[in-house]
Amino acid sequence: MNFVLLFLITIFSLSLFFYGRSKTKTISIKENIKLNALPKFYGYYLVLWCSIPALVFLLVWSLFEPVIIKSIIIETAANQGAIFSDKNEANLIYEKIKAIHLGTYFGDIDSILKESALAYAKFINLFTNSKVVLIFGIIIASVIYSLKKIKNNNKARDDVEAILKGLLFVSSLIAILTTLGIIFSLLFESIKFFSVINVFDYLFGTNWSPQRAFVRDASSITAAEFEELKDAFGFIPLIAGTSFIAFIAMLVAVPIGLFSGIYMAEYASIKVRRISKPIIEILAGIPTVVYGFFAALTVGPFFRQVGENLGLTVSSESALAAGLIMGIMIIPYVSSLSDDVINSVPQSLRDGSYAVGATKSETIKQVVIPAALPGIIGSVLLAVSRAIGETMIVVMAAGLAANLTINPLESTTTITTQIVMILVGDQEFDSPKTQSAFALGLTLFIATLILNYIAQRAVKKYREKYD
């Protein structure tokens, strides 16, 4: 039905475009007046007025229709004697009714369900009919309004501008609101978590074993159980593991990325640049899961083998393997960004340095790099936040046990890995175990936020104006 409506709205709008265009043309010729806008703007004006109100109405209606029908049906079912004790059972009955209506229900059908299904069919019908009627009503009303405006030779060009501006504004509003929505959903779930687990126990605890709280309703935790859970959600091992792996990754990515960026910008001939730059950027396009199994299946076992030969115990899932591969993943970001900032350092600075007799490497070290430093810091911090947020590689290659260790050969875990582990599989959404994922998400979000803030401050402070 909705597709038919969309189709009709499109057809109407298009025909109105041509109508509006020719209509204003004839008016201007017949009455010999100067139009306030080009004829096509009157066409656009009609199109926008015909389509936007109807589309908005359709969208809102489609959002609320199921909710309203559901509450009505559940109520009628209850009136007919259906028994349900809580929301979940009510939902179940509603789904059954819907399935009967669609003919996909194969269980026993009692009289209550049958009656309700009939009622459901009735309501669906009613709602669809009223939707169609209302939409046509809206279209007719808005078209009449806009036609009247056009007859008065309105400033259609300005009006179209205003409507478009409104559309753009709504788009950015949606972007901002969804972000806010994500933050608030994180925040509320985290608050639930922190009502059970003390914030300080979480922030400074050194033991992370959330499975102890598995399938335990947060509201029914006894004092004894609480004591037991108190030290199950220690954040320290996770942030330590995260920073450690990110550190190893940066150890790989920053020097290699920066040096390759310098080579690309300063030394490589145009020919080399044209071939090698895309190749490096291909690295950035490889899905992280591919890096992940490369790390888990190739690099990890290789390190263990080497370790065995050297007489070291190396876990086959190690921070070293994960960090190394993550570093390789990040190289193109550092390389390509620093290449860009180095390229944007004006040639006149290099000339000035050469002119006092500096060599190329002296010029790069003492003039070009300092001038490009803010951009380089920015690219490095961007790489750090990618390293911290990266999930797939660590899930596959770093292990799951929350070890508090600084031995790169042992397995360790990160915040993102734990979020994945907690939310994979069947969940009890009241359990502190599940809610801890949101707390972790929130902490990660705040950490990256702080990092970005520091990055911006650093960039501002060290920005050397070279113009």
- Please name every residue paired with 97 in a beta bridge, in sequence order, or none if there are none: none
* Contact by Cβ (8 Å): 124, 101: yes
* Contact by Cβ (8 Å): 250, 383: yes
Q: Which of 71, 366, 427, 456 binds other proteins (CB under 8 A)?
A: 366
Considering only the stretches 190-198, 297-305, 344-352, 446-454, report the one whose residues sit in contact with other proteins under the rule CB under 8 A.
344-352
Question: Is residue 353 near other proteins by the rule CB under 8 A?
Answer: yes
* Contact by Cβ (8 Å): 230, 197: yes
Task: Give the residue with the Cβ less far from other proteins, 349 or 401.
Answer: 349
Q: Which of 255, 352, 449, 454 binds other proteins (CB under 8 A)?
A: 352
Q: Which of 117, 367, 392, 444 binds other proteins (CB under 8 A)?
A: 367
* Contact by Cβ (8 Å): 390, 192: no
* Contact by Cβ (8 Å): 320, 393: no
Task: Give the residue with the Cβ less far from other proteins, 186 or 371.
Answer: 371
Contacts of 422 (CB under 8 A, 6+ apart): 210, 433, 434, 436, 437, 440
Question: Is residue 465 near other proteins by the rule CB under 8 A?
Answer: yes
Burial of 369 (0-12, 13-18, 19+ CB in 10 A): middle
CA dihedral 343, 346, 347, 353 (to 10 degrees): -110
Q: CA 35, CA 454: separation in Å to the nearest integer?
A: 56
State in angstroms the smallest separation of the CB of 349 from other proteins: 6
Whether the CA torsion 143, 145, 151, 152 is positive or negative: it is: negative
State in angstroms the smallest separation of the CB of 361 from other proteins: 11
Question: Is residue 355 near other proteins by the rule CB under 8 A?
Answer: yes
Burial of 461 (0-12, 13-18, 19+ CB in 10 A): exposed
Considering only the stretches 66-74, 220-228, 330-338, 350-358, report the one whose residues sit in contact with other proteins under the rule CB under 8 A.
350-358
Question: Is residue 362 near other proteins by the rule CB under 8 A?
Answer: yes
Task: List phi, psi (to 5°) of 233.
Answer: -115, 60
Considering only the stretches 78-86, 121-129, 211-219, 367-375, report the one whose residues sit in contact with other proteins under the rule CB under 8 A.
367-375
Considering only the stretches 69-77, 164-172, 324-332, 352-360, report the one whose residues sit in contact with other proteins under the rule CB under 8 A.
352-360
Considering only the stretches 70-78, 276-284, 343-351, 429-437, report the one whose residues sit in contact with other proteins under the rule CB under 8 A.
343-351
Considering only the stretches 16-24, 80-88, 351-359, 440-448, report the one whose residues sit in contact with other proteins under the rule CB under 8 A.
351-359
State in angstroms the smallest separation of the CB of 353 from other proteins: 7
State in angstroms the smallest separation of the CB of 265 from other proteins: 14
Question: Is residue 258 near other proteins by the rule CB under 8 A?
Answer: no
In 128-199 the beta strands, taken as DSSP E runs, fall at: none
Task: Give the residue with the Cβ less far from other proteins, 160 or 371.
Answer: 371
State in angstroms the smallest separation of the CB of 454 from other proteins: 22
Task: Give the residue with the Cβ less far from other proteins, 51 or 338.
Answer: 338
Q: Which of 95, 110, 225, 351 binds other proteins (CB under 8 A)?
A: 351
Helix 415-423 × helix 236-262 angle, to 10°: 120
Question: Is residue 338 near other proteins by the rule CB under 8 A?
Answer: no
**Which residue, among 434, 398, 435, 440, has the nearest Cα to 416 in the 3D structure?**
440
Question: Is residue 464 near other proteins by the rule CB under 8 A?
Answer: yes
- Please name every residue paired with 208 in a beta bridge, in sequence order, or none if there are none: 233
Residues 173-232 that bind other proteins (CB under 8 A): none
Tokens of 90: 């009510």
Number of residues binding to other proteins, judged by CB under 8 A: 23
Considering only the stretches 23-31, 184-192, 322-330, 459-467, report the one whose residues sit in contact with other proteins under the rule CB under 8 A.
459-467
Per-residue exposure over 378-415, b if at least 16 CB sit within 10 Å of its own CB, e if not: bbbbbbbbbbbbbbbbbbbbbbebbbebebbbbbbbbb
Q: CA 139, CA 55: separation in Å to the nearest integer?
A: 10
Residues 259-278 that bind other proteins (CB under 8 A): 269
Considering only the stretches 295-303, 324-332, 360-368, 413-421, report the one whose residues sit in contact with other proteins under the rule CB under 8 A.
360-368
Q: Which of 103, 278, 285, 357 binds other proteins (CB under 8 A)?
A: 357
**What residues line the site for other proteins (CB under 8 A)?**
269, 346, 348-359, 362, 366-367, 370-371, 464-467
